[in-house]
Chains A and B, each alone.
Chain A
Amino acid sequence: MLAEIGFFTTIFAGIAAIYAIISALYGVRMNTPAAVVSARNAVVVSCIMLVLAAVALQIAIVNQEYQMAYVWSVSNPSMPTFYRVTALWGSQQGSLLFWSALMSVFAALAVTLNWRSNRRLMPYVIATLMSVLIFFIGLNLFVENPFERWWLDSASVNAEVLSTVLQPAGAVAPSEARLAESAQGLSPMLRHFGMAIHPPMLYLGFVGFLVPFAFAIAAMASGDLSTNWIKASRRWVLVAWLFLTLGLILGGRWAYDVLGWGGYWGWDPVENAAFLPWLVGTALLHSIMIQQKRGMLKTWNLFLVILTFSSVIFGTFATRSGLVESVHSFARSGIGTPMFLFWFTLTFTAVALLLWRRSQGLLRDERQFKSFLSRESLFVLNNLIFVALFFVVAWGSFGAPITSELFMDTNITLGTDYFMRVTPPLFLAMYILMGVAPLSAWGATSLAKLGKSLAMPLVLTAITMTFLFVTGTNSIGAMIGYGVVFLSGYVAIVEIGRGFLARQRVHKESPIKSFTALFARNPRRYGGYMIHLGVTIIGIGLIGSTMYQMETQQTLGVGDSLFISDYEIRYDSIEGAQISTDGRIMDIANVTVLRNGEVIDQMRPRRDFYTSGETMTIAGTHSTLENDVYVLLVGWEEISQNSATFKVYINPLVNLIWWGSFILILGTIIAVWPRDVVPSRVRDSVHNVMPRGVSHA
């Protein structure tokens, strides 16, 4: 029953989406507002249908309806309920349906929340949103259907197994007990708390960028190329960016906890595929400010929106088609060709539309550039850095491997070695601009004024660098990195401090009130500074954990110790072949961590062996702000009762990455928080006097 409900609601969602496109375009063409209203309602209906379909699949997984092929492939009777819930996005079909449902929710929210303020753009926004949604619904219905069920063809000699949604003539359902017994279960790599949040956050980030893309297409299609589409999109860009950032951070944490290699970012092509839209999305966040404030970079902003969403679709194609192989290959399938064609069509159409509008002269800047030393020129440089990072990461992940395979008949991999050569100078430049740009003024600023603003952060940076040098930081690379990162962080702190002191002087209020009022009065500005502060703390963590990481691997007998940095790792005992409630077999080592002869922690690093044949290495970790002691029970050496092989990492300052991320997210929430600057009655009366479409014809 659930399979039928899910299947037919997905079909209805598709029909509603097609109707929405036709009705919206008819409405704008024939100047019939009722048709556009009807299209909006169809968007909401489509959303309800897809959410119902996703709920039906979720219930089927939780209720263990193993006749459904997807349920059979991602769950089994020994899996706890928590992982049954996360199994919704645990493989290709389910994650595509989940993706479609999230996309439909974003579409419905975008249309309803912007309905009054952006009536003229709406028909085109609806048409764009629904066109993309239809493609994903099509994938769910025709390529990766999560509602297919197992059937046994009783007419065939060998009782052939069929996989269809509806029962074929002469086919019977297989035995429930047999299906439950053979059910495969979720990939062990996905059985982690991080996987409960990481994929939904990533998907929310991806689908979130559809909304600004739809507004950009609508602006180009309608000819309303004023700042209306930017105003409507900015918050959506921030929301999408927030979710994508969260997704990337949680992905890093998952890798750190589950993949067992002591790191959080491996420059894996699939990780990079999610990083690419983040890079251009960050550039976009900055450049739309220039258009809002100065009426400049109109073409560039449209290009960035297109590039961001295009890279989302390309990343999805790369992740799910098998174009690149990685630890994420659990989501591979045969959607490559339709996905590639969709990506190409979408990008080509959007770029053609952009070039057409540009050739009409509708994208001219409203102001001219006055000085190299202005906020807009520094933001342009910031955009250059992000786009350069986008290019070098895209080239290393996809460009060079594909070029060499297509034209030189050779497979190559560009790994950490390549990325650590080409990205650090660009990241350094990014941090420098992050420090300097907020201090410059729109239009023009003088070198003396900029120097004066930078004086205090520079002094603080010099003091910090002296302290670091005296306390033993001796690498030139690390000193340069820390210097630049600290400078940008001190700029944010000093600017927040200036605002705070100014309020204190004027209002004579309590420090807490001054501080909160500062953020409440100008959330964009001070939220932005908090984001910069978070990025600074992440930078300190990245430099520490990358440049000063230590590792060793040794085989120890029971009672023996290995020494690394000023830590002693003592192997106490092993608990072999422990059987878990979910059926996996665990080898658990008991390890004591000592520092200066004193016991500071007891750890239980382990190896999990699943019935599917997969093995997981789960680290034991002693975490402090100073560093992580990360101990692995290594799998590639014989483990016996007498000896075991351990790989131990010391990851300095790695926890600053997670704490910095927390501050970054807090800053983004402050920046994106709705601020009702225009009373609703004014908005309503403005809506009534706004002219109807500019270029409907």
Chain B
Amino acid sequence: MRKTLQRLIILFALLALPVLALQAQDGGDVPIPPETVTDDQVNDIASQLYCPVCENIPLDTCGTTACDDWRYEIRLQLEQGYSEDAIITDFVNRFGDRVVGTPQDPVLRALSLVTPVVAVILGILGVVWMFRNWRTEDDTAVPAQQTVSTDDKYRALLESDIRG
């Protein structure tokens, strides 16, 4: 019985090791001790946000004092154990969808991302229609020579000039 218990503990420890290792790698909900939050971690999140006061400037590169403070806020939130998603959501809740590169609101997100796809599909359909239309327009096509009235004289002169 004792031997079985020892074996079970060892087996559990062996199984737990990779799980703990993965947990450590993930780091999603595990608070990061203050001393381990690096500038790169702060910038990684800041680069996904836009400065709430200077439009269209990413937060990681904005040089205003306000952005200094927001980056410091990100650092504090990381130290308090907030995940990346939670920090971004917090910024969106406070400053609106303009602080992220693609809106989080489902309607705005769909509007932003689906519209260009629909437009491109419509464009492709338009080209297909045009190709088909071209093929059926055989009878209505205008012969090339009828439309270039001045070119004939031009060509004749050019040819006579070349002949000398």
Residues on A lying within 8 angstroms of B by beta carbon are 225-228, 259-261, 266, 268-269, 295-296, 324-327, 364-369, 372, 377, 380-381, 384, 387-388, 391-392, 395-396, 399-400, 403-404, 408, 410-418, 421-422, 426, 551-555, 615, 617, 635-637, 645, 647, 678-679, 681-682, 685-686, 689-691, 694
Contacts and interface: CB of A to CB of B under 8 A. Distances in A.
A324 to B, nearest CB: 7
Contacts of B50: 413, 415
B123 A413 contact: no
Given A380-B130, A413-B100, A555-B39, A391 B119 contact: yes
A685 B156 CA distance: 11
Nearest to B159: A682
B123 A682 contact: no
B5 interface: no
A415 B102 contact: yes
B138 interface: yes
A384 B123 contact: yes
A442 to B, nearest CB: 13
Interface string B40-73: 1001000010100011111011010001100100
Contacts of A551: 40, 43
B141 A422 contact: no
Q: Which 5 A-B pairs have the closest CB atoms?
A: A417-B101, A369-B134, A415-B101, A553-B39, A325-B55
Nearest to A387: B123
Interface centre among A364, A384, A396, A412 (most CB of B within 10 A): A412
A443 to B, nearest CB: 12
A682 B161 contact: yes
Given A260-B61, A399-B115, A685-B157, A227 B102 contact: no
A410 B144 contact: no
Contacts of B60: 261
B138 A368 contact: yes
A553 B56 contact: no
Nearest to A395: B116
B147 interface: yes
A217 to B, nearest CB: 19
20 contacts: A225-B147, A226-B148, A268-B56, A324-B56, A325-B54, A368-B141, A381-B127, A384-B124, A392-B116, A395-B116, A400-B115, A411-B98, A412-B108, A412-B112, A413-B99, A414-B101, A414-B112, A416-B101, A418-B102, A647-B43
A635 B155 CA distance: 68
Nearest to A645: B39
Given A418-B101, A554-B39, A682-B158, A413 B144 contact: no
A269 B55 CA distance: 10
Interface in B90-118: 96-103, 105, 107-108, 111-113, 115-117
Contacts of A400: 111-112, 115
A387 B157 CA distance: 40
Given A388-B123, A412-B108, A421-B113, 6 more contacts: A400-B111, A408-B107, A417-B101, A422-B116, A636-B63, A690-B154
A260 B61 CA distance: 8
A413 B150 contact: no
A403 B111 contact: yes
B40 A553 contact: yes
A449 B119 CA distance: 34
Interface residues of B, number: 60
B3 interface: no
B141 A388 contact: no
A604 B112 CA distance: 43
A342 to B, nearest CB: 25
A296 B113 CA distance: 34
B56 to A, nearest CB: 5
Contacts of A645: 39
Contacts of B149: 226, 691, 694
A411 B97 contact: yes
B153 A689 contact: yes
B112 to A, nearest CB: 5
A413 B56 CA distance: 7
Contacts of B12: none
A367 B40 CA distance: 60
Contacts of B61: 259-261
B26 interface: no
Nearest to B139: A368
B17 interface: no
A636 B63 CA distance: 7
B101 to A, nearest CB: 3
B120 interface: yes
A552 B40 contact: yes
B142 interface: yes
A430 to B, nearest CB: 13
Interface centre among A369, A411, A553, A679 (most CB of B within 10 A): A369
Nearest to B143: A366
A478 to B, nearest CB: 20
Contacts of A554: 38-39
Contacts of B150: 226, 228, 690-691
